[in-house]
Amino acid sequence: MIIMNNNYSAVFIDDGIGFKAVERYQKRRAVLADKINHLIVICGFEQPTDTRTTWSHTGSFINQDPLMLYLTGINQLKTALILDPYSKESPEILFLAKKNERNEFWDGCQIGVGSQDHIEVARTITGFTDIRDIKTLNQVIIEKLKEKPYKAGLYWHQSKVTGKIFHDHNYKFKKRIERLLRANNLTTVEITNIASLLWSQRLALDPIDLENVKTAMQKTQSAFINLLKKLKYFKTETEVAGFLDGQLAVNSYFRNSFPSITAGGSNATVLHYRKNNSTLPSNRLLLIDYGIRWYSTNTDISRTVPVNGSFNPLQKLLYTIVLNAQKLVESRVRAGISILELDKMCWDFINNEILKYFPDNDKSSTARYNRKPHTVSHLIGHQVHDCDPFGDYKNEQLKSGWIISNEPGIYGHFIINLNGKVYNEKTGIRIEDNLLVTEEGCINLSNDIPKEIKDIESLIK
């Protein structure tokens, strides 16, 4: 924790292992550089992730692109990286902005260039020998490509299936490099996407990340248990969200892995409900979907609980269907199966179960979706939704060491007569665990976060 406690904490993420982190990041870069025989250029965020103009959102939390964090640990804006396997004297160059005392007066310590002393500090913290001003990035790229003008590896999000592109900062950077090459008569340079290569290196977490994700899960669990013990005192979704986010913030400087969803009653039929501002309906269910970021790892959990502490018979019926679907999926997860195979299994099971109890599908139940509301799993790693935003990976075989979510759900309007009493509810139920894929099966990382009906009821009472 040496680095985390010094003035440069938060600008260099050591994943809890202090100075050993430097070596770990160096190894990652070496592994990547070993697989390629051309230049790689990676550019991090230039501005906070949640804003285009910092003026309208002052004081944003800085969380650098997971790609830059994975390769360097550097968590500050205006950072770029060149890996050049051809260069013996300088195979990796880190680009930083100039250290600026006025900015530091406002925002605290940053690493940067400017004087030899500043560069020495940056070298000690990051482990890079060659550190240069980010203003020279274009010039260095051109010099390098004039020497070996055939290929440059960049990172951007593009579907291999549909060709669709995600227009984020990575893609803007690619366009910028293309313009730069045109302006310098280097149009024969082939630009190649290193995204798949990086994901295959990054997705299976190493032992340090695995320890961190287990710690993250303990923090996720304690937030949930503390929430259930206090639930009877809360009257609104806002209070639930505030308490939950407070629990996460107290337990991790890195806070939430995504904005919490706390949805009471029919609000839970909205998949990404984030208004979190309604009164809690006392006889209805409350769906919470939240997670914590701990160093470079993330959790992503959903639980659905009765606001008043007991599930009514309709709620019990629907909840049990979702829980059994979740157990079915978990029993089938192993290296080699694809998310789409799990997906089919999950929704076939749920749709069949619903038909058993609500045979007249048009009148007694109305789902807010056709056949399936969402995919049952996504990859979780250094981002809470890791890998490509288009989900091409859903067709691929899962690999040992990957973490996936397991999150079946039911969302709709259900009417049923049970033991002479009519129950009529618009409701959403989702139960989400995080599974570590192994060769033989999987390890449920969130197994200790209560989800059985009796366990939830007894915690609320």
Shortest Cβ distance from residue 124 to Mn ion (Å)?
39
Helices (H), 189-236: 195-202, 207-230
Shortest Cβ distance from residue 301 to Mn ion (Å)?
8
Please say which residue, 189 or 404, places its beta carbon nearer to Mn ion: 404
Residue found under tokens 């995080």? 434
Shortest Cβ distance from residue 298 to Mn ion (Å)?
10
Please say which residue, 300 or 343, places its beta carbon nearer to Mn ion: 300
Please say which residue, 42 or 404, places its beta carbon nearer to Mn ion: 404
Shortest Cβ distance from residue 258 to Mn ion (Å)?
8
Please say which residue, 75 or 406, places its beta carbon nearer to Mn ion: 406
The span of 38-46, 366-374, 390-398, 400-408 binding Mn ion (CB under 5 A) equals: 400-408
How many residues bind Mn ion (CB under 5 A)? The answer is 2
C-alpha closest to that of 189 among 177, 198, 197, 173: 177
Cα(330)–Cα(320) distance, rounded to whole angstroms? 15
**CB-CB contact of 224 with 455 (8 Å):** no
Shortest Cβ distance from residue 403 to Mn ion (Å)?
11
The contacts of residue 226 (CB under 8 Å, 6+ apart) are 243, 247
Question: Which tokens hold the place of 278?
Answer: 């309604």
Shortest Cβ distance from residue 284 to Mn ion (Å)?
22
Please say which residue, 17 or 380, places its beta carbon nearer to Mn ion: 380
Shortest Cβ distance from residue 314 to Mn ion (Å)?
25
Shortest Cβ distance from residue 380 to Mn ion (Å)?
7
Please say which residue, 237 or 300, places its beta carbon nearer to Mn ion: 300
Please say which residue, 251 or 405, places its beta carbon nearer to Mn ion: 405
Q: CA-based angle 171:174:180, to the nearest 5?
A: 145
Interface residue with Mn ion among 170, 267, 269, 405 (CB under 5 A) is 405
Phi and psi, residue 437, nearest 5°: -75, 135
**CB-CB contact of 387 with 230 (8 Å):** no
Cα(92)–Cα(296) distance, rounded to whole angstroms? 22
Q: Half-sphere exposure of 116 toward its Cβ, with a 13 Å CA cutoff?
A: 0
Shortest Cβ distance from residue 449 to Mn ion (Å)?
14
The span of 115-123, 151-159, 267-275, 397-405 binding Mn ion (CB under 5 A) equals: 397-405
Q: CA-based angle 45:175:177, to the nearest 5?
A: 85
The span of 270-278, 402-410, 413-421, 445-453 binding Mn ion (CB under 5 A) equals: 402-410
Please say which residue, 199 or 290, places its beta carbon nearer to Mn ion: 290
Alpha carbon 208 to its chain centroid, in Å, reads 17
Cα distances (Å, whole numbers) of residue 313 to 319, 411, 417? 10, 17, 10
C-alpha closest to that of 334 among 432, 408, 436, 406: 436
DSSP states along 99-140 = P-HHHHHHH-----BSSHHHHHHHHHHH--SEEEEGGGHHHH
Please say which residue, 17 or 286, places its beta carbon nearer to Mn ion: 286
Shortest Cβ distance from residue 291 to Mn ion (Å)?
8
Please say which residue, 94 or 403, places its beta carbon nearer to Mn ion: 403
Cα(348)–Cα(286) distance, rounded to whole angstroms? 25
Please say which residue, 252 or 405, places its beta carbon nearer to Mn ion: 405
DSSP states along 4-33 = HHSTTTTTB--TT-TTHHHHHHHHHHHHHH
Shortest Cβ distance from residue 285 to Mn ion (Å)?
18
- Show contacts with Mn ion in window 282-341 (CB under 5 A): 300
Length of the chain equals 461
Residues that bind Mn ion (CB under 5 A): 300, 405
